[in-house]
Structure 1
Amino acid sequence: MFRFANPEFLYLLLVLPALVVFYIYAVIQKRRAVKRYGNPALLAELMPDVSPKRQHLKFWLSFAAIALIIFVIAGPQFGSKLETVKRQGVEIMVCLDVSNSMLSEDVSPSRLDKAKQMLAKLTDGLSNDKVGMIVFAGDAFTQLPITSDYISAKMFLSSISPEMISTQGTAIGAAINLAARSFTPNESSDKAIIVITDGENHEDDAVGAAKMASEKGIHVNIVGIGDPKGAPIPMGSANNYLKDNAGNVVITKLNEQMCQEIAAAGNGMYVRADNTNSALRALQKEIEKMNKTEMDSKVYSEYDEQFQILAWIALVLLIADVLTLDRKNRIFKKIKLFS
């Protein structure tokens, strides 16, 4: 398990592009200044010891050293000891619709992106709970088995796209059935399924699947995302939308009635996601109401610092920067390392 002890220092990496821009600007200004004095080719002959390539090298040595120093102070660490600990929490399986209709932009920036943003914030609010993820369209498969590793959860979440499943459709029932089988066996903690979907092209017995999950003590909560009035589905380039066989633009609509029926059968809640954070707050309240019980979690209890190699490389680069002169060394002038 890899992590940074002080990840907030990674924001300093934003300085690096600014350094490149500043250096390019300085080089351009320097060339303009030289041109004001005369022909650059003639001036170069008058200054045979000046080496522009050495100056470029010195900058990139300093640039690389600064980048490595930022990583060093961020504190790279690898987990060295895995332990089973007791935690008070709940188990949550998220089922995310990745059908093409989720690309619709009736919710900003799109239905799918809004869902991913909401789940990222929901994950940030978890502490001792376990979370897993299932993606579905015409079929469903497990994207992330249930875990307490929130870093992995957010990493898998960021990579989700409609291209993951070639079969189009909205197999909500298959996703719920798979989620119900994905919880930790023999775990007594409260369990919940969160389905995020627009409910369109519904094609299997989602209500029956939700009812079966409820009979096992699993609450099925539905987050409907989209606009009941409908919106087109962007396809690739700008102003290009999905069309049917007759050439008409396909309009995708949030099927709220179906979503509400599934939530009722699953003894859960239904909430509609819009451009506010109301759906996120509703989910957080629902999770807070769940009974947290003691469960086992695998966690890294010890971490080894891994900054030493980066620190040595940065030191070597800084020494090389100091030893690299702006001008050619008269002693080593005949060695053509730089021109």
Structure 2
Amino acid sequence: MRLTRRLFNYLRHRLDVALLALALLLLIAALFKPTVPVKRDIYSYMLVADISQSMNAPDMRLGGKDVSRLVYMKDMMRRVVASMPCGTSVSVSVFAGVTIAAMYQPLEVCANYANIQDTISNMDWRMAWSGNSRIRSTLPSIARTIRSFPAPAQVVLFTDGEEAPRLHAFNTENLESFQGGAGWLIVGIGSDKGTPIPKLDEQNQLIGFWSNESFALQPGIAQISESNIGTRDDNVALGETDRYQSKLDEEYLKTLSAEVEASYVRGDNLQTVLAAMKAQKPARRETAGFELRWILAALAALTFVTAFLPRHPVQTLRAALASRLRRRVVTS
């Protein structure tokens, strides 16, 4: 008891030693990486990109130049990822026909930033396994893919809304019982002006344009086989009047979004898209450990610096200034 009192009195008169001892204790505590449990929102996204051939229509502007919807969409996706704070998880997927392909499960954006950006940059229409674009029928496929992930994720779907072939009584997916779209976000890519869809070869060279017949209804096929619904005609338009005029089908995307309880936003402005994503509910809420080691280390550094400051810094500074002033007076 007497020893404790003597130590207390010593530290009280030697504030510098007490502060150094405290700094040492804080550093030792930081080495054990202590955490406290806190509840926090977890943001995880599945970015789904339409890579069907209508996305090759050059009706968008980027950097003062005309670019295809695909190029514009990729630029938008890259900037969306660049705006995400650390701790956010991202998965990149592509869709064509009636199915999607997830490149990977959601990854933490800062630790995997280069890989995620590289995935988006290398997306290409030639990755598609189907020439058709069945957006409505793809939604259940997206929901099934998310259920295969180890944790929930919110969907952000980028598309021009071009259903190819056009919907009719035999190929319209019934979504009355579909419940996976709540909280999803559909981003419309494209312009309101009609633009021909270029038909490209394997070397990405233009060989013509898709014809109106390519998007014709085929109810006979639809009645016979669900897998062959509206196979796209492979003909090339012979003249300008034969070319199919593609544009962003915004009204359809709004109707589809409302039907599945998703949100819709036009993708012509990054801040508009980010605001819509921010309005989405977090993918989940969980209790996680909040690390204290950096706080302890910062306090240790502050305590260490304080130990070497004068006991009365304001009075010391005033005395120093007064002494300098007196010397100048004497010198003059």
TM-score of the superposed pair, with normalisation by structure 2: 0.53
Residue by residue over 1:73-99, the C-alpha shift from the partner in whole angstroms, topping out at 9 and shown as x without a partner, is xxxxxxxxxxxxx97412222221111
Contact 1:135-1:175 at 8 Å conserved across structures: no
The answer on 1:134 being equivalent to 2:93 is yes
Matched residues in 1 for 2:264 and 2:89: separation?
22
Map 1:213-228; keep pairs closer than 5 Å: 213-214=180-181, 218-228=182-192
Structure 1 counterpart of 2:255, from 247, 252, 261: 261
Identify the residue that residue 305 of structure 2 maps to in structure 1: none
Letter in 2 for 1:111: R
Distance 1:221 1:284, change over 3 A: closer
Structure 2 counterpart of 1:251, from 238, 245, 252: 245
Structure 2 counterpart of 1:92, from 32, 45, 67: 45
Matched residues in 2 for 1:223 and 1:251: separation?
21
Residue by residue over 1:300-335, the C-alpha shift from the partner in whole angstroms, topping out at 9 and shown as x without a partner, is xxxxxxxxxxxxxxxxxxxxxxxxxxxxxxxxxxxx
Identify the residue that residue 304 of structure 1 maps to in structure 2: none
Contact 1:235-1:242 at 8 Å conserved across structures: yes
Q: CA shift at 1:230, angstroms?
A: 1.6
Letter in 2 for 1:285: K
Q: CA shift at 1:294, angstroms?
A: 2.5
Contact 1:210-1:220 at 8 Å conserved across structures: no
Moved over 4 A (4+): 184-189, 202-207, 235-241
Matched residues in 2 for 1:295 and 1:143: separation?
28
Matched residues in 2 for 1:278 and 1:234: separation?
30
The answer on 1:281 being equivalent to 2:243 is no
Identify the residue that residue 230 of structure 1 maps to in structure 2: 194
Letter in 1 for 2:124: S
Matched residues in 1 for 2:244 and 2:121: separation?
27
Structure 2 counterpart of 1:197, from 144, 152, 159: 159
Compare CA radii of gyration and give the structure with the larger one. Answer: 2
The answer on 1:143 being equivalent to 2:102 is yes
Structure 1: unaligned runs, 5 residues or longer? 1-85, 297-339
Letter in 2 for 1:192: Q
Letter in 2 for 1:254: L
Q: CA shift at 1:157, angstroms?
A: 1.2
Contact 2:45-2:106 at 8 Å conserved across structures: no
TM-score of the superposed pair, with normalisation by structure 1: 0.52
Structure 2: unaligned runs, 5 residues or longer? 1-38, 62-66, 212-234, 289-332
Identify the residue that residue 286 of structure 2 maps to in structure 1: 294
Residue by residue over 1:204-250, the C-alpha shift from the partner in whole angstroms, topping out at 9 and shown as x without a partner, is 65671894214xxx422111111232212234588864142452222
Question: What's the Cα RMSD here?
Answer: 3.4
Q: CA shift at 1:117, angstroms?
A: 1.2
Q: CA shift at 1:266, angstroms?
A: 2.5
Matched residues in 2 for 1:90 and 1:104: separation?
33
Contact 1:135-1:143 at 8 Å conserved across structures: yes
Contact 2:156-2:184 at 8 Å conserved across structures: yes
Query: Percent of aligned pairs with the same residue?
Result: 25
The answer on 1:173 being equivalent to 2:136 is yes
Q: CA shift at 1:270, angstroms?
A: 0.9
Contact 2:46-2:156 at 8 Å conserved across structures: yes
Matched residues in 2 for 1:133 and 1:113: separation?
16
